Amino acid sequence: MKKPKKILIICKKKYCLLTRSIHDHLLGHSIPVQIVHRDELTKQMTRGVDFIIITGGDGTFLQSSHYILKSTPVMGINPDPPTSYGFYTGKNHTDYMKKIHKVLQGKQKYTKLYRLKVTIGKRIVPLRVLNEVFYANQNPAQITYYRINGEMQMSSGVIISTASGSTAWSKSAGGMVLPITSDKFQFIVREPYVNKFPESKNFHQVMKKNQKVEIEDLMGDSFIAIDGTEVSYTLKKGQKLVVGVAKEALNIIL
């Protein structure tokens, strides 16, 4: 990666002491640095920088990643691993300053993670999915009724996961763990109700980069959750949810 000329630090309030330490260190290298709280982040803030540092756990990282649509390299730092889980941020808490120095020298390598693009009807959801999309009835106690890639199904919902998200929720639901850099993705049907449609067979499938998952909602009271519970959208009966690999990957330093 090239030497950065401008850096953005995204923080969770709890960890801003660490953030200030990194900020002061970078200023010593005469590099402009901006600090922003994760809840105040906008897409515009991420567009004009060459390197982004995110301090916090995976919740902060996932939330922040939704605002990064360009190829800007990102590094996550989890300053308190015993109390805050971090798959994307946990690997850097002991050697982050060494990696920052390599970034400043233009010598640090990054890993390309493929994300998902979501469309509901004619509307493109204005963020990219790093872990998974979950489609289900808004009432978790009620069954979900839909057509997926042409097949009628009833179940507790559908998880559509990226390769990097395949070690998380989708794995617990019976999905396959994919190599983190794979451009494939997968869907997993949760608790399929086979008595209604005994001919339904496609409850788990690994998809190629050029393929899509298409779900037609047959209920009218369903929703999708993206990378957790903070981002969600409702669907109207008859609307189609289309999910495929996005062209905007995330370049992360692990």
- Span 87-116, mean pLDDT? 89
| pLDDT band at 10; cut points 50, 70, 90 | very high
Instruction: Decide if 228 contacts 209 (C-beta within 8 A).
Output: no
Helix, strand and coil percent figures for the chain, each rounded to 5: 20, 35, 45
Is there a contact between 191 and 173 (Cβ–Cβ < 8 Å)?
no
116-246 is a CATH 2.60.200.30 domain: yes
* Backbone φ/ψ region at 215: left (φ over 0), alpha (ψ -120 to 50), beta: beta
The per-residue pLDDT for 14 is: 57
Beta bridge mates, 132: 161
Model confidence band, residue 241 (pLDDT cutoffs 50, 70, 90)? very high
Q: What are phi and psi of 62, to 5 degrees?
A: -60, -45
9-18, 55-64, 144-153: least confidently modelled range: 9-18
Q: What is the pLDDT of residue 122?
A: 95
Q: What is the C-alpha separation between 1 and 108, in angstroms, rounded?
A: 6
Q: Does domain 7-109 have CATH number 3.40.50.10330?
A: yes
Contact criterion met (CB below 8 Å) for 214 and 83:
no
**DSSP-based three-state secondary structure for 187:** strand
- Provide the residue type at 49 as one letter: V
Q: Using one digit for the tens of pLDDT, what is the confidence trace for 45-55?
A: 999 899 999 99
Residues 85 and 208 sit within 8 Å (Cβ to Cβ): no
Q: Quote the tokens at residue 179.
A: 């190599």
Residue 248: count of CB within 10 angstroms of its CB: 14
Q: Is the pLDDT assigned to residue 197 strictly greater than 90?
A: no
Q: Are β-strands 116-120 and 111-113 bridged in parallel, bridged antiparallel, or unpaired?
A: unpaired
pLDDT of residue 223: 97
- Residue 58 makes CB contacts below 8 A (sequence gap 6+) with 85, 86, 87, 88, 89
Within a 13 Å sphere around the CA of 231, how many CA atoms are in the beta-carbon half?
A: 22
The residue type found at 1 is M
Is 56's pLDDT higher than 80? yes
Count helices and strands in the chain by DSSP H and E runs: 5, 18
Of 134, 132, 147, 125, nearest to 219 by C-alpha is 147
Q: Where are the domains of the chain?
A: 7-109, 116-246
